[in-house]
Each structure stands twice: as structure tokens, then as C-alpha cells.
Amino acid sequence: MAPVKISIIGAGSAVFSMRLVNDLCKTKGLSGSLVSLMDIDEQRLNGVYELAVRYVKELGADLRFEKTTSLETSLHEADFVINTALVGGHAYLDKVREIGERYGYYRGIDAQELNMVTDYCTITNFNQLKFFVDLARMMERICPNAWLLQTANPVFEGTNLISRCSKIKVVGFCHGHHGVIEMAEALNLDERKLDWQVAGFNHAIWLNRFFYDGEDGYELLDRWIEGGNLEGWKPRNPFDVQMSPAAIDMYRFYGMMPIGDTVRNGTWYYNKDFETKKRWYGEPWGGPDSEEGWKWYQKQLKTTTDAIAYLSANRSLKLLSLNTYLKFLPEGTVPKEMMREAEIFSSPDKLSGEQHIPFIDSLVNGNVRRFVINVPNEGYIEGIPDGVFVEVPAVVDKDGWHVERIEPKLSEKVLKFYLWPRMLRMEWALYAIMNGDKSALIEFLMRDPRTNSLEQAEGVIEEILGLEENQKMRLHYEKGMKL
Ligand code: NAD
């Protein structure tokens, strides 16, 4: 048992904080640890802090919490830093998307070929990417030996940028590989008999290895398709895209199944407009990244934030009985996804499925586990330069990570039609921001099939640079500043 200090940056994050607190409370090996909750939004911070303290008491766990709006204070003596902050929030992303749409860029200028995920902004979210670098550099000064667990998006651009701008140990996290389990459920397979691997980049992973009880799992998938299951397929929610027509179409072309968010990151063929999205990702939402799908997601986020505020204000409510309270409400009042979260939260030992806390436990206490993490390539994926962050399965112990041999290799089509072009877009985005090169931003857009003229690309970039919250971004690009 080794107590550590874990800083959660952007602790008011609707998605992550309570999941991390849940996992920490149930990880005995990290007992006695100090958790520093840091956020610039005091109201959200207070809500999460209040709940965390109460939850620990109810569970009888041995954890201490501090809350702060100062990044410096939070980083002091930190061993692990989990970054979940979204600088400018979803409101900023909505604003730049709306500007992009006025200039003819459906779902905004960051919705690019092979990067269609709505909050994965690579060229407009300067403040977010700059924050990643500032945080890493501040860590070099205050807690140089700490690990940075990069969770806020864009994880692919972010991990690569941080590693090129600082010496801090950074590893990227995502839960997208859970798509393998969703697929197993659809095929009616027992998860324990699966032998699988995924490999690629964040939001760009492919099921290179798939065996079931010694049998070729892809034959089972082919049978599922031939059995007409696709015809009757309907999504249960906008994120339920693992077995969508888009996923199967990608499988047919690439020869391997795209996993998790990779399905959202197809080509224009699936994403051109709302009608097209509906055809490929299912009715009525057209996947999570359409106007309707994202509206649904934002409503979910608000429900979670409201729930945290309500629970923290009503101190007499027992958090471990959350599940029971919710069951008393009329059917349909609480979204299914929230019921699932409440069930985990109400149980004395269930973990959230996020990898951060088990990863820390494996490193600190040597409890060996398998993860899917984003680490610099060291020949793991052939054909990808060393140093570029790849998302791969790895066993983690006290000595760090040990990436599995990727076997069989990714298909040539995955490499040449998917990973290489996606990597180039990352390189372009990093080139632009690291050199403060506005012409690179314009050139980025000139390669977008939605761009019809130079005026269109220049116009949209100027309007985004002109936003009040982008003063630093404008200066950076006008002066050609280096990062
Ligand atoms: P959110 O807006 O609900 O929460 C982000 C928090 O960051 C807010 O509480 C905000 O006050 C805080 N924040 C903003 N600027 C800050 C700063 N300078 N310092 C400290 N805190 C600051 O956002 P969300 O929906 O919870 O998403 C957070 C991030 O996580 C996004 O980038 C999202 O894309 C990403 N995400 C990652 C995964 C993954 O698996 N890796 C999954 C879902 C979401």
C-alpha cells in the first residue's frame, strides 16, 4: 500500500471526476492518498469536492481531498496529474462550430476527414492545446517526476504536442476500446473467451486480433452480417455505433473492424450531411456527431452536472443508496446510461471502467494488469515513425508499460488509407501551432473538400481569430510565435 498525491485538473468535468473518485475509493492499494481537485469553476469544484468527501465517508475509505482553483497549488508534490480540463468549455466549441457552418463547413472546420468527433478540435482549440503545454511545463518546474495522464481531447494531437514541447512523462487515456466488448455482446460471445488486440492511434484503433475460444472471430462476424442482422439494426442511443452500417462498411474496405470512436471517424462518405449520417449511423440521431446526436450528448452532460449539484446540495441523501432512490422515479425520468453509472456508484466494489486509477495502482503497487494506452511508438506498429503516440494494448507493472507484440499486423489498407493520412493531419495541426504559422491553418483548410475558395478558408480563420476569447491565439499566429 503506497499513498500518493493525485491531481485532477478540470475536476468539475461532468464525465470524469466522480468516476475517478469512485475508482479511488475502491482501490485499497491507494489508501491514504491525497487527491487534489483543481478547477477554475468554483461552483463545480465545490459540488464535486462535497460529494467526494461524503462518498469516502460512506464507504469508510481512507482518502484525503483538497480543492483549489490554483494549478500551482494542485501540482505541488503531485505524483500523478490527470488532465480532464476543457478550456472554454463546450460553449466555445459550439461557437466556433457555428462560425464554421456559416462558411459552409458542416459541423465546423475541425470536423475533418478521419476526425469527425465533435469535441476533438485540432486547429480551432488553440487555448486547449496551449493549456496542455503550459501544464506540462509547469509540471517540469513543480513536480518533474510526476506522470501526466492526458484525458482531455484531442488526445492524439495533445500527447504528441506535449511530448515535443516538454520532458514530462505523458500517457494518453481513452475508453474507446470498450467497443470490443460491445461487439462481443452483439455477437452473443462470452467476453472471457475472447483473445483480442487493437492498435492504431487514439480514436483510430482497429481490431487486428480477434479469436473466440480458439476460433477465428472474424468468421463469426461475417456470419452475423450474412445472417441479415445489419438490416434490422437500430442504435439504442447516438453512441451505439459499433455495429452500425458505417462500421461494417469500414470493415469491408479495410479488412479489419474499426473499434469505438474510430467508427465515428470515417470519411465524408458517411458524414457529408445529416441525411448521410442517418443512413450510416442509424435513425433518428445519425450518430453522436450530428446536430441531433450532439444535442442528446449535451443534454446527458447537463443531467450529470445537475445531478452532481443536486446531490451535493442535499446532504442527507445517502450516495450509496443512489440506485434505490432513482428506481422510485417514474420510468423514463432517468436516462439508462445514468442508471448504469448510479449502479456502479452504489455498489461497494464496482469500478467505472476508466483506466486511470487501475493504471496508477499497477505502477505504484505492481498489481499487473492489461490496458489500452497511448504511448510513443517504439516499433510497435510497423510503418509508423517512432515517437508518434500509438494506442496499443500493454501490460503495466512497477517498471512501467510493456506493449504487446501487435500480431497479426494492421492491414496495409489501414496503414495507408487511414493511419498515414490521419497522422499527417496531426502533423499539420502541430506544425501550425508550434510555429504560429497562419498560412498552415489556411493550407489545412485548402485540403478540405468543403473548401471552394481561398476567400472561404481565409474568412473563417479570420473570424475565429477575431473572437474575444481568442486574443492569445490571434497574437500567436499574427506574430508567428513558437510554442
Ligand atoms: P466539461 O466542460 O464538462 O468539464 C471540463 C472542466 O474543465 C470544467 O469543469 C471546467 O471548469 C474545467 N476547466 C476549464 N478550463 C480550465 C482550466 N484552465 N483549468 C482547470 N480547469 C478548467 O467537459 P467534459 O465534457 O467533461 O470533457 C472534458 C474533456 O474530456 C474534453 O476534452 C472531452 O473531449 C474529453 N473526453 C475524453 C474522453 C476520453 O476517454 N479520453 C472521453 C470523454 C470526454
Domain identity same for 120 and 152: yes
Bridge partners, residue 112, by sequence = 115
Under 8 Å between Cβ of 37 and 49: yes
Residue 287 DSSP class: S
- Nearest Cα neighbor of 465 from 86, 450, 457 is 457
Q: Give burial (CB, 10 Å; 0-12/13-18/19+) of 153.
A: buried
Q: What is the pLDDT of residue 328?
A: 67
Show the CA angle centred on residue 68, arms to residues 65 and 74, nearest 5°. 80
Under 8 Å between Cβ of 296 and 282: no
Dist CA 409 CA 381 (whole Å): 8
Please provide the average confidence, as pLDDT, over all residues in the chain: 95
Phi, psi of 245 (to 5 degrees): -55, -35
Q: What is the pLDDT of residue 422?
A: 98
For ligand 1, whether the C-beta of 178 sits within 6 Å is no
* 11 grid coordinates: 475536476
Side chain identity at residue 71, one-letter code:
L
Buried b (16+ CB within 10 A) or exposed e, 306-328: ebbbebbeeeeeebeebbeebee
Residue with cell 494549478: 71
What are the 10-residue block averages of pLDDT along the chain, 483 residues in total? Answer: 92 86 94 97 94 93 97 98 97 98 98 97 98 98 98 98 98 97 97 98 98 97 96 95 98 98 97 98 98 96 86 86 71 72 87 97 98 98 98 98 98 98 98 98 98 98 98 98 96
Measured in angstroms, how far is the CA atom of residue 78 from the centroid of ligand 1?
20
For ligand 1, whether the C-beta of 40 sits within 6 Å is yes
Dist CA 10 CA 420 (whole Å): 32
Number of domains the chain contains:
3
Residue with cell 462558411: 103
- Candidate from 81, 84, 337 with most ligand 1 atoms within 8 A of CB, to mutate: 84
Domain identity same for 52 and 21: yes
Instruction: With respect to residue 163, please indicate whether it lies within any of the assigned structural domains.
Output: yes
Beta-carbon contacts of residue 60 (< 8 Å; ≥ 6 apart): none
Buried b (16+ CB within 10 A) or exposed e, 261-285: bbbbbbbbebbeebebbbebbbeeb
Under 8 Å between Cβ of 320 and 58: yes
Question: What digits encode the pLDDT tens for the residues 292-315?
Answer: 999 999 998 988 888 888 888 888
Domain identity same for 182 and 251: yes
Q: What is the pLDDT of residue 448?
A: 97
Under 8 Å between Cβ of 389 and 148: no
Domain identity same for 53 and 158: yes
Question: What digits encode the pLDDT tens for the residues 200-254?
Answer: 999 999 999 999 999 999 999 999 999 999 998 999 999 999 999 999 999 999 9
Last residue of one domain, picked from the residues 270, 292, 314: 292
Catalytic residue from among 23, 39, 119, 261: 261
Measured in angstroms, how far is the CA atom of residue 13 from the centroid of ligand 1?
5
Q: What is the pLDDT of residue 316?
A: 87
Q: What is the pLDDT of residue 400?
A: 97
476 is annotated as an active-site residue: no
Measured in angstroms, how far is the CA atom of residue 406 from the centroid of ligand 1?
32
Q: What is the pLDDT of residue 318?
A: 86
Query: Of all atoms in ligand 1, which is nearest to the CA of residue 117?
Result: 34
Q: Which residue range is the domain that position 249 belongs to? A: 177-194+213-292
Domain identity same for 17 and 157: yes
Domain identity same for 54 and 170: yes
Domain identity same for 97 and 227: no
Give the β-pairing of 194-201 and 204-212.
antiparallel
Last residue of one domain, picked from the residues 232, 263, 292: 292
Query: Of all atoms in ligand 1, which is nearest to the CA of residue 16?
Result: 26
Question: What digits encode the pLDDT tens for the residues 279-288?
Answer: 999 999 999 9
Measured in angstroms, how far is the CA atom of residue 10 from the centroid of ligand 1?
6
For ligand 1, whether the C-beta of 174 sits within 6 Å is yes
* 335 grid coordinates: 436516462
Instruction: With respect to residue 44, please indicate whether it lies within any of the assigned structural domains.
Output: yes
Query: Of all atoms in ligand 1, which is nearest to the CA of residue 11?
Result: 9
Domain identity same for 188 and 258: yes
Under 8 Å between Cβ of 180 and 259: yes
Domain identity same for 13 and 144: yes
